Amino acid sequence: MIVGMSSQHRNTNRNYRPDDAEYDPAKIMVEGAGYSMNTAVRAFLRWLNEDPTRLALLDGHLRAVAAETPTGRPARGPASP
């Protein structure tokens, strides 16, 4: 019996939930260029970390997504009888 088995992965899993309309075309472009979405996201993070002032380039997109994306868990529906 194995108890307390830790993850065998080097990096922590992170979750994000992009809309299909955002994700699907990007995936087609990235995979068409011969890369995976994991590679593309990691490349973006490295690009941003190389020069944090680049965040200003995304300001309009960041504001738009923040305004339309609710935070936290969805509200619970009415209690069932």
Read off the tokens for 44: 């973006």
Better-predicted residue by pLDDT, 24 or 77: 24
Per residue in 28-57, pLDDT (tens digit) is: 999 999 999 999 999 999 999 999 999 999
Q: How many residues does the chain have?
A: 81
Largest Cα separation within the chain, whole Å, is 55
Each residue's pLDDT tens digit, 69-79: 777 777 787 76
If you average pLDDT over residues 12-40, what whole number do you get?
94
Among residues 35, 31, 41, 34, the alpha carbon closest in space to that of 11 is found at 41
Amino acid 26: pLDDT: 97
Rounded Cα–Cα distance for residues 36 and 33 (Å):
9
